[in-house]
Structure 1
Amino acid sequence: MSDAVAAAPPSGTDHVCSAKACRAPARHAVVWNNPKLHKPERRKVWLACDDHEKSLADFVALRGFLIEVVPVEALTDADG
């Protein structure tokens, strides 16, 4: 599942699910950090539609990387 995250959304669209081959609107933000690669303050984000929220969150949680899952609207400039 290392290629589970899709490339950037097509131009002109906002908040598209990060799951591979999914182009659905994202409603959730899976916020995570891999401490072996990122500074503690770094907040990586995968966007998720309703169908992929659990699988993307579970993927990073299993590795101990999950910080939180929040609505897309709750993201701040510190996320990304």
Structure 2
Amino acid sequence: MSSGEFDLRSRLRGFLVEDQAPVPQCSRAACNNAAEYRLEWRNPRIHTEDRVKIWLACGTHLDFLRGFLDTRGFPMRIADVHDPVNEEPIRDSPNY
């Protein structure tokens, strides 16, 4: 990941009491549910293949967020939120 891009690990650091494990939240507007999935995607019209953007989704909003990206033809891949971040380029064909 290049400098200045979204880093999930940095986003979660320092927000909770040290005794608690960080609980990432769903990226859907107004949703405070714990995230279960990570959608890694890019907009091919403005991003090169090495640019990886990340949204988090709870089980309720996974289909909504995936549909938003899929409708626009944005290549993506979906992983469990606790899997290591895949920093490989996202190719033009959807991978989910």
Gapped runs of 5+ residues in structure 2?
1-10, 17-21, 89-96
More strand by share: 1
**TM-score, with structure 1 as normaliser:** 0.75
| Cα pair 2:44 2:75 within 8 Å, conserved | no
Matched, 1:19 2:28: yes
Matched, 1:56 2:65: yes
CA drift at 1:74:
1.9
**TM-score, with structure 2 as normaliser:** 0.64
Identity of aligned residues (%): 31
1:40 corresponding residue in structure 2: 49
Aligned residues: 71
Higher relative contact order (CA 8 A, sep 6+): 1
Cα distance in structure 1, aligned partners of 2:42 and 2:33: 24
Q: List 4+ stretches of structure 1 deviating above 3 A.
A: none
Change (3 A) 1:76 1:15: same
Counterpart residue type for residue 46 of structure 2: L
Please point out which of 37, 41, 44 is paired with 1:28: 37
Matched, 1:72 2:81: yes
